Amino acid sequence: MKKQIKYTLLSIVLLLGTTGCTTYIKGDDGKTVINKTTGQSLTENILCRPTDEETIMLYEANGYDLSELPYCSCKDYQEEKEEQIEADDSNEEKEVSESKKQDESKKNETKQTEEKKENEENTNEVAKEDTDTCKEFTISGKYEGLWTNIFVRPLAWVILFFGKLTGNFGIGLIITTILIRLIVFPLTRKSTMQSEKMKQIQPEMDRIDKKYEGKDKNDREIAMAQAQEKMMLYKKYDINPISGCLPALLQLPLFIAFLDAINRVPAIFEEKLLSLHLGMTPRIGIGNGNWFYIVLTLLVAVTTFYSFKNTQNNNTANNDMMKQTKTMMNVFTIMIIVMSIFMSSALNIYWIASNVCTLIQNYLIKRSMK
Range from 51-60, 71-80, 91-100, 163-172 carrying the lowest mean pLDDT? 91-100
Confidence of residue 173 (pLDDT cuts 50, 70, 90): very high
Given a cut of 90, whether residue 176 has pLDDT beyond it is yes
**Residue 175 CA, distance from chain mean position:** 12
Q: How many other C-beta atoms can be found within 10 angstroms of the C-beta atom of residue 126?
A: 12
pLDDT of residue 19: 47
CB atoms within 10 A of CB 174: 21
* Residue 28 confidence (pLDDT): 81
pLDDT on residue 179: 93
pLDDT at 161: 92
Least confident residue range of 40-49, 217-226, 309-318: 309-318
Per cent of the chain over pLDDT 70 is 71
Q: Which helix (H) or strand (E) holds 273?
A: strand 272-273
| pLDDT of 165 above 80 | yes
pLDDT computed for residue 315 by the predictor: 45
Percent of the chain residues past pLDDT 90, beyond the cut:
15
Mean pLDDT on 24-50: 85
Nearest to 269 by CA among 341, 344, 349: 344
Cα gap 265→269, rounded to integer Å: 7
Alpha helices per DSSP H over the chain: 2-17, 53-61, 74-102, 106-132, 146-147, 153-166, 169-183, 185-200, 202-211, 220-236, 246-264, 266-269, 282-287, 292-311, 319-342, 345-369
The pLDDT-based confidence of 117 (bands split at 50, 70, 90) is: low
Query: Binning pLDDT at 50, 70 and 90, where does residue 229 land?
Result: confident
Give residue 131's pLDDT band: very low, low, confident or very high (50, 70, 90): very low
**285-338 pLDDT per residue, tens:** 998 888 899 999 999 999 998 887 776 654 444 555 567 767 777 888 888 889
Any idea which of 64-68, 69-73, 94-98, 269-273 has the lowest mean pLDDT?
94-98
Quote the mean pLDDT of the chain: 77
pLDDT-based confidence at residue 356 (cuts at 50, 70, 90):
very high
**Mean pLDDT of the 250-261 span:** 81
At 314 the pLDDT is 47
Contact 172, 160 (CB under 8 A): yes
Q: Residues for the chain: how many in total?
A: 370
Residue 243 pLDDT grade (very low, low, confident, very high; cuts 50, 70, 90): low
**What is the C-alpha to C-alpha distance for residues 173 and 185, in angstroms, rounded to an integer?**
18
Q: For the residues 195-215, what does the mean pLDDT come to?
A: 79
Q: What is the pLDDT of residue 300?
A: 93
Q: What is the pLDDT of residue 282?
A: 92
Q: Of the ranges 243-247, 265-269, 300-304, 316-320, which one carries the lowest mean pLDDT score?
A: 316-320
